[in-house]
Amino acid sequence: MASAQLCFYSPNDYLADELERDTKHEYLNGSIYAMAGASRNHQHIMMNVGGLFRQHLRGTPCAAYASDMKVKIGDLAFFYPDVVVACDGETDGDAYYTEAPKIIVEVLSKSTRRHDETTKRRLYQSLPSLQEYVLIEQDIVDVEVCRRSNHWQSEHFFMGDTVTFAALDLSLTVQDIYERVVNDDVSTYLAQLAEASKEVGDIV
């Protein structure tokens, strides 16, 4: 998050002004923070997860939103998760935020890591509806899933693993989550797969 603008905003002021701004801002305890742009890897991960969630949820009361749907936490905060799934049937009273997320996904970057792992984690997990909070690295391969059913303990998944999002009854491979992402972990794993496939071909 960027530096806060030195002006106190009420939640209603923030929501009204946000509709007029060209740059998205998050809100925390009366202050607003401009959001930085996202890298190509960040975008790939966000769109991969959001797209796979959306496809899985077709025909259900739940919907997946990527990047532009705010999560409201009382009158204290409004955040823009990278991906959020809500099952409120789009009837919670506002077209621009949800108060009842079921899953929240944040893609980590150097500028947002501390905020995502501390303040946001604490506030998100205070929401009664939230079942899973997911943190995904973009510069290495690491998918961290924190589940309410497991007392918010962290579980980590890497290339070759399958991640089960129990709240959605959906399993995704880590490879699917990192499709098109370019980093050393992804490149090494794909090279190993190619080599293993070549060895099998040579044997056949």
pLDDT digits (tens, 9 = 90+) for 63-118: 999 989 999 999 999 999 999 999 976 555 578 999 999 999 999 988 888 889 99
Q: Are residues 25 and 1 in contact, defined by beta-carbon separation less than 8 angstroms?
A: no
pTM for the structure as a whole: 0.91
Q: Which residue has the higher pLDDT, 132 or 92?
A: 132
Strands 132-137 and 101-108: parallel
Give the separation between CA 187 and CA 72, rounded to whole angstroms: 38
Residue 67: predicted pLDDT = 87
Residue 137: predicted pLDDT = 96
Say if residue 1's pLDDT is above 70: no
% the chain with pLDDT above 90: 78
